[in-house]
C-alpha cells in the first residue's frame, strides 16, 4: 500500500530509480493464494468439551456461556491464515444475558396461549419485534469480538435491514401457533404454510444482509449473489427427496408382498421401518449437508473485500460421507464422539477454503485501519448483541 500522506514530499533525484523499481514490482505482483489450517485436534477439544459439559450440567446451564467462549477461543486461536491466527475475546456475561432473555421469550411463547388469546398474540408480537433486532446484535457481538492481525471484524447492517431480512422467516416460524389459536380448524394455517415455498428467497435475503455488511477493520465486504440463485440447491434436494421416496416405496411394496406371502406380516413391518429410517437418513444426513455445501460455496465464493477474494470449494459427496460417519460414531459412542466429529467437520470446511490476495497479506493488513465502530463500545450491542447459539 502506498502512502497518501500529503506531508510526504517527492524523493530526491537519486531515489527516483528505486521508486520506479518498487512501483514496477507492485504493478507486476501476482495474486497469492493462502490456505487455512487448523492446529488443534479432536483429543484436545474433547478435554475442553467434557469439562464444559460437566460444569454446564452442574450449574444448570449457567456455565454454558463461559463454555461457549472457551470453545470459540479454542477454534479461533487454532485457525491460521497466512501465518497468523484469529482470536475471540467476547464477554461470557453478555452471552449469558442474551440466553436468559431468549429462554424467557421462548418460555413465554410456549405458555402464553394457555392463559388467553390476547396474551398469546401479545407475546408473538413481542417476538416478531425482538428477534430480528437480537439476531442483528448477535452478528455484531460475534464479529466485533473476533480479531485477525490485530484488526477487528464488524457488522454494519442496519436495524431496518435486519427486519427486512429476518422478519419473514421469524413470522413463518411463530405465526402458525397464533393462527391456530384464532382458527382451530387449521384452514388459515394451511394457506400460510405455502410461504415455505419462498424459503430459498428468505435464505438468500438473510445471507445477502449478513455478507454485504461484513467489515474487516475499515474495509467493507461486497456480495453480489442474487437471491433467486438460492433456489438451485433446494430444488436439487427436492428432486433427491422425490427420487428417494419413489425408489424406497417401490422397494418396500415389492418386499411387503414377498414377505407377507412367504414369511408373515411382521417382516413386512420391519421392511417399512427400514424404509422410514432410509428416508430419515436421506433427509437429515444427505439433504442437510448437501444444502450446507452448495449454499456455503456460493455465499463465501461471492464474498470479497478490497484486494481479498474468498473461495469455497467444498465437495458435497465428501461432506455427506463425513457427516454420515460422524453421526454413526456419535450414536455408537453415546455422544462421546461429538467433539471429534465437530473438529473433523471444521477441518474439512477449512481445507476447502482459500483466500486470494493481490499483494502480500502483511502489506494489505498494514494498509487497513481499525474501524472506529468495531473498536468502540456499543451499550446496546454489549447487552443484546450476543451469540444466541448453543
- Mean pLDDT in consecutive groups of 10 residues from the start of the chain, 390 residues: 42 46 52 93 97 96 94 97 94 89 88 88 92 90 92 93 95 86 80 86 96 92 93 92 79 66 61 73 83 95 94 95 94 96 97 90 73 47 44
Q: Answer yes or no: is 256 within a domain.
A: no
pLDDT at 343 (0 to 100): 97
> How many independent structural domains does the chain possess?
1
Q: Answer yes or no: is 286 within a domain.
A: no
pLDDT at 373 (0 to 100): 55
Q: Answer yes or no: is 106 within a domain.
A: yes
Neighbour tally for 202: CB within 10 Å: 21
Q: Answer yes or no: is 81 within a domain.
A: yes
Q: Answer yes or no: is 353 within a domain.
A: no
pLDDT at 295 (0 to 100): 96
Q: Answer yes or no: is 137 within a domain.
A: yes
pLDDT at 300 (0 to 100): 96
Q: Answer yes or no: is 216 within a domain.
A: yes
What lies within 8 Å, CB to CB, of 190 at 6+ separation is none
Structural domain that includes position 165? 43-225+371-390
pLDDT at 222 (0 to 100): 95
Exposure letters 337-349 (e unless 16+ CB within 10 A, then b): bbbbbbbbbbbbb
Q: Answer yes or no: is 294 within a domain.
A: no
pLDDT at 14 (0 to 100): 45
* pTM, rounded to two decimals: 0.82
pLDDT at 225 (0 to 100): 93
Amino acid at each position: 500500500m502506498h502512502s497518501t500522506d500529503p506531508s510526504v514530499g517527492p524523493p530526491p533525484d537519486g531515489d527516483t530509480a528505486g521508486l520506479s523499481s518498487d512501483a514496477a514490482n507492485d504493478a507486476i505482483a501476482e495474486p497469492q493464494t493462502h490456505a487455512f489450517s487448523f492446529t488443534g485436534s479432536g483429543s484436545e477439544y474433547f478435554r475442553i468439551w467434557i469439562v464444559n459439559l460437566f460444569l454446564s450440567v452442574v450449574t444448570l446451564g449457567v456455565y454454558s456461556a463461559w463454555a461457549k467462549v472457551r470453545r470459540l477461543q479454542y477454534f479461533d486461536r487454532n485457525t491460521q491464515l497466512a501465518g497468523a491466527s484469529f482470536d475471540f475475546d467476547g464477554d461470557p456475561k453478555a452471552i449469558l444475558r442474551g440466553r436468559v432473555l431468549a429462554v424467557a421469550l421462548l418460555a413465554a411463547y410456549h405458555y402464553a396461549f394457555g392463559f388467553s388469546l390476547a396474551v398469546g398474540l401479545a407475546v408473538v408480537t413481542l417476538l416478531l419485534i425482538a428477534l430480528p433486532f437480537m439476531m442483528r446484535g448477535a452478528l455484531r457481538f460475534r464479529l466485533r469480538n473476533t480479531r485477525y492481525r490485530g484488526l477487528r471484524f464488524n457488522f454494519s447492517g442496519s436495524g431496518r435491514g435486519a427486519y427486512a431480512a429476518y422478519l419473514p422467516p421469524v413470522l413463518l416460524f411463530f405465526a402458525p401457533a397464533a393462527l391456530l389459536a384464532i382458527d382451530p380448524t387449521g384452514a388459515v394455517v394451511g394457506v400460510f404454510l405455502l410461504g415455505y415455498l419462498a424459503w430459498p428467497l428468505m435464505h438468500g435475503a438473510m445471507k445477502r444482509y449478513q455478507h454485504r455488511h461484513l467489515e474487516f477493520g475499515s474495509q467493507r465486504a461486497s456480495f453480489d449473489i442474487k437471491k433467486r440463485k438460492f433456489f438451485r440447491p433446494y430444488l436439487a434436494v427436492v428432486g433427491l427427496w422425490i427420487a428417494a421416496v419413489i425408489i424406497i416405496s417401490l422397494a418396500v411394496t415389492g418386499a411387503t408382498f414377498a414377505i407377507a406371502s412367504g414369511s408373515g406380516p411382521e417382516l413386512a413391518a420391519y421392511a417399512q421401518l427400514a424404509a422410514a429410517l432410509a428416508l430419515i437418513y436421506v433427509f437429515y444426513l444427505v439433504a442437510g449437508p448437501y444444502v450446507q455445501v452448495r449454499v456455503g460455496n456460493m455465499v463465501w465464493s461471492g464474498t470479497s473485500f478490497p484486494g481479498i477474494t474468498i473461495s469455497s470449494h467444498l465437495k458435497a459427496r465428501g461432506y455427506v460421507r463425513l457427516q454420515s460417519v460422524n453421526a454413526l460414531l456419535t450414536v455408537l459412542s453415546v455422544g462421546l464422539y461429538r467433539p471429534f466429529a465437530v473438529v473433523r467437520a471444521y477441518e474439512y470446511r477449512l481445507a476447502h477454503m482459500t483466500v486470494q490476495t493481490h499483494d502480500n497479506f502483511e502489506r494489505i493488513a498494514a494498509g487497513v485501519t481499525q474501524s472506529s465502530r468495531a473498536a468502540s463500545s456499543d451499550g446496546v450491542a454489549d447487552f443484546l448483541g450476543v451469540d444466541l447459539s448453543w
